[in-house]
């Protein structure tokens, strides 16, 4: 498998975990504006070495998820801002341009030091 993108969660915004109850996880690279950071899982930005697309896999810690849909600007947002919205609903079409949909259970907890990786 080829690693498309890999990063490590460094801190968690005050309201970020609330999105998990809505089957979402929102990421942003370190240096996000404070009002945005409060809702995001902040990570040290990695390099993108491929294209995000349906059929690839996402790994979050020890859990692995199938990527079922990728919004039209999700790859660009991840590359430039470290920003994506992950939806744990397995939808076959992206709901919004910056959304990546994956199949599998919503993580119960995401902690600093957790690795986020996309592989193909």
Q: Which residues are designated catalytic?
A: 43
Burial of residue 96 (number of CB atoms within 10 Å: 0-12, 13-18, 19+): exposed
According to DSSP, the residues that pair with 65 across neighbouring strands are: 58
3-state SS, residue 40 = coil
Q: What φ, ψ does residue 80 adopt, rounded to 5°?
A: -90, -35
d(CA 75, CA 100): 9
Residue 11 burial (CB count, 10 A) = 13
């Amino acid at each position: 498998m080829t690693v498309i993108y890999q990063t490590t969660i460094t801190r968690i915004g005050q309201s970020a975990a609330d999105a998990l109850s809505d089957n979402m996880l929102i990421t942003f690279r370190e240096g996000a504006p404070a009002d945005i950071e409060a809702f995001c899982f902040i990570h040290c930005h990695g390099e993108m070495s491929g294209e995000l697309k349906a059929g690839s896999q996402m790994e979050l810690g020890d859990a692995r998820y199938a990527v079922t849909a990728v919004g039209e600007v999700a790859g660009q947002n991840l590359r430039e801002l470290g920003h994506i919205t992950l939806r744990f609903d397995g939808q076959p079409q992206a709901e919004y341009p910056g959304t990546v949909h994956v199949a599998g259970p919503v993580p119960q907890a995401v902690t600093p030091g957790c690795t986020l990786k996309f592989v193909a």
